[in-house]
Copies of this chain bind each other. A is one copy, B any other.
């Protein structure tokens, strides 16, 4: 298996776990779990492939991705009641999924020889859009846009590191590993220690 395929599989599996956890909070049935898991798992990569006109889409070329997502849904369906806090599990799994999906998106765009800005955007989109779809469809507050947390910022920073490292190192693993590390460190730091960027503050709006 290539490095890029491994990253795609890992991000599909972990994002599917997060989708299924949200489905458990909405008390859906097993097919509902699988549906939300698949949507979350392949949403970001699908958008990446459509935007880059990559044909066929990664999970149409290898439907095993869908099997992986469904397996994740089944695992959560059978075990979620054992988690002490499903919300906490969700948030931390989501941070892992982000840290794997961003290098997955970045790597594809690098392999296609896209310019730096497009590489960075593809990493960010692949990382953020699956979770955004999950939250919009299930009508949760998008994790992506929670006030005062690093999420898009973490994805963007990680993708940027990879895009700038890539031309200067020989082994393709290094920029992607750095990308995953930076993304996860920023996201986890935000969750654990409250790292954040200054948010917009207005005088009390007269809106």
Contacts and interface: CB of A to CB of B under 8 A. Distances in A.
Nearest to A32: B145
Interface size class of A (residues with CB under 8 A): 35 or more
B56 A53 contact: yes
Contact of A31 (B36, B55, B152): B152
One complex includes copies of this chain to the number of: 3
B205 A25 contact: yes
A28 B80 contact: no
A143 interface: no
B56 A24 contact: no
A147 B51 contact: no
A136 interface: yes
Interface stretch (A2-10, A92-100, A114-122, A173-181): A114-122
B29 A199 contact: yes
A57 interface: yes
Given A51-B57, A52-B60, A115-B63, A200 B147 contact: no
Interface in A47-61: 50-53, 55-57, 60
B202 A63 contact: no
Nearest to A38: B121
Contact of A81 (B25, B66, B153, B202): B202
19 contacts: A23-B200, A29-B148, A29-B199, A31-B150, A31-B152, A31-B153, A32-B145, A33-B200, A34-B152, A35-B144, A50-B50, A52-B56, A60-B114, A60-B118, A63-B115, A84-B206, A136-B137, A137-B142, A139-B139
